A and B are shown apart, each in its own frame.
Chain A
């Protein structure tokens, strides 16, 4: 089982560039989320989705867009990268609220 797959694993961007972080899950989970992890800050929620066509903002949504057109995929778009977006990004999925979340291996993003 693949579980939650994130691509790419590493990325370097220049300030102002845009890109999409990909996340796919093969467990038919309804809930999917994006987090960023910075030293000393723990995991902070960027955006989340409770089903196809439904998305909502988390704690730190500014500078990021998401869409959920299928159950399997939940891409995260950086519209105009800034150095403050240098971080490790994790995607997670769960069957529903109150059940365990499965995480991808992360994308390490550096914005120069």
Chain B
């Protein structure tokens, strides 16, 4: 069964305290792994797409990596404005399958 699991469910950091979010997946015929950011009351906003093991992508304080079984979203020196829910999803055929998300809170 295709499945996406994110951990932790919630993460509280101090400003400047780097950490990582995990997304593990089991899917046949992976066509891409996606990271999204979601702010309260809004729709998810695209961050990264990764297609093959070993691939890495960066954007400001965020860096996403991919292995054959999991992806990590590394957050370096986070700021309060990085507080949001981060969602991971895998493309399987015509479907996007989402994990349950990690709620990140960064305190000043």
Contact = CB atoms under 8 A, between A and B. Distances in A.
Contacts of B46: 100-102
Contacts of A53: none
Contact of A103 (B44, B93, B97, B101): B44
Contacts of A100: 34, 46, 49
- What's the dominant secondary structure at chain B's contact region? strand
Given A33-B95, A103-B45, 9 more contacts: A40-B100, A41-B100, A43-B44, A50-B94, A90-B43, A92-B43, A100-B34, A101-B96, A103-B44
Interface string A49-70: 1100000101000000000000
A111 interface: no
Interface of B: 31-32, 34, 41-46, 49, 51, 87, 89, 91, 93-101
B96 A45 contact: yes
Contacts of B97: 45
Given A40-B100, A42-B98, A42-B100, A97 B43 contact: no
Interface in A22-58: 31, 33, 35, 40-45, 48-50, 56, 58
A46 to B, nearest CB: 11
A98 B91 contact: yes
Interface residues of A, number: 27
A104 B107 CA distance: 29
Nearest to A58: B95
Contacts of B51: 98
A106 interface: yes
